[in-house]
Structure 1
C-alpha cells in the first residue's frame, strides 16, 4: 500500500470512529490528518486535503482546540496559522474521557439528581421512581 493511500484510509477510518467518541466525522478526520502529519499543517492545507470549506475547517479546528486535542502553532515569517495534534495516545484517551464526562456524564447526573428529589413520594410508582 502506498503512503498516500494508507494516509487516506487512516483519515477515513478515524473519521468514522469519531461519532463513537461524540464528535462529528469532519472533526475526527481533521484530527487524524494532524496526527499523521510530521509537521504542523495550515488550515488551507487541511481544507485542500479533506476538501472542506474554510468555515467547516475553522469551526472544527476550534472545537478540537477546545477539547485540548489540537494546538495552534505559529511559524516565523508566516501569516498563516498552523495546527498540530496531540500524538500521545494515553494523553489523547484521558482528554477525550474528561471532555465526554464534562459534556455528557455530569449533565446527566445533575438531571438524575433533580428528578430523584420528589418532595414526598406517595404512590408506589413515585416510590419506585425515586
Structure 2
C-alpha cells in the first residue's frame, strides 16, 4: 500500500471512529490529519488536504480546541494560525474521557440524583425510585472508573491492562 493510500484510509477510519467518541466525522478526519502531520497545519492546508470548505474546517477546528485535543501553534514570521495535536495516544484517550465525562456522565448523574426527590406513595413511584437509584449507583461506578483512568499514568494503566489480560 502506498503512503497516500494508507494516509487516506487512516483519515477516513479515524473520522468514522470519531463518531463513537462523540465527535462528528469531519472533526475526526481533521484530528487524524493533525495526528499524522509532522508539522502544525493551517486552516488552508486542512481544507486542501481534506477537500472541505473553510467554514467546515474552521467550525470543526474550533470544536476540537473546545474538546482540548487540538491547540494553536505559532510559526515565527507567519500571520496564519496553525494547529496541532498531541501525539500521546494515552493522553488523548484521557482527554476524550474527561470531555465525555463532563458532557455526558455528569449531567446524567445530576438528573438521577434529582429523581430521588420524586414524591408519592404508590408502587409505581417506589419502582421508579428503585430503578433510578440503581442507575445512579451504576453511573457512579462508571464515573469512578473513568476518574481513575483519567488520573492514571502509563505504568498504572498498562499494569492494570496486563492483569486483566491474564
Q: How many residues align?
A: 129
Q: Which residue of 2 aligns with 1:9?
A: 9
Unaligned runs of 5+ in 1: none
Partner Cα distance (1:91, 1:58) in 2: 24
Q: Does 1:99 align with 2:65?
A: no
User: What's the CA shift string for 1:56-100, capped at 9, x where partnerless?
Assistant: 111111111111111101111111111111110010000000000
Partner of 2:21: 21
Matches of residues 32-43 of structure 1 in structure 2 within 5 Å?
A: 32-43=32-43
Task: Map 1:77-96 to 2 at 5 A.
Answer: 77-96=77-96
Unaligned runs of 5+ in 2: 130-166
Please provide the CA RMSD for this pair. Answer: 0.8
* Residue equivalent to 2:155: none
Question: Where is the helix percentage greater, Structure 1 or Structure 2?
Answer: 2
User: How far apart, CA to CA, are the structure 1 residues paired with 2:116 and 2:121?
Assistant: 13
Runs of 4+, deviation exceeding 2 Å: none
Cα deviation code 1:85-121 (max 9, x no counterpart)? 11100100000000000000101111111122113x3
CA distance, structure 1, for counterparts of residue 78 and residue 5 of structure 2: 30
Q: Distance in 2 between matches of 1:24 and 1:115?
A: 31
Secondary structure of the corresponding residue to residue 33 of structure 1: helix
Query: Greater relative contact order (Cα 8 A, min sep 6): structure 1 or 2?
Result: 1
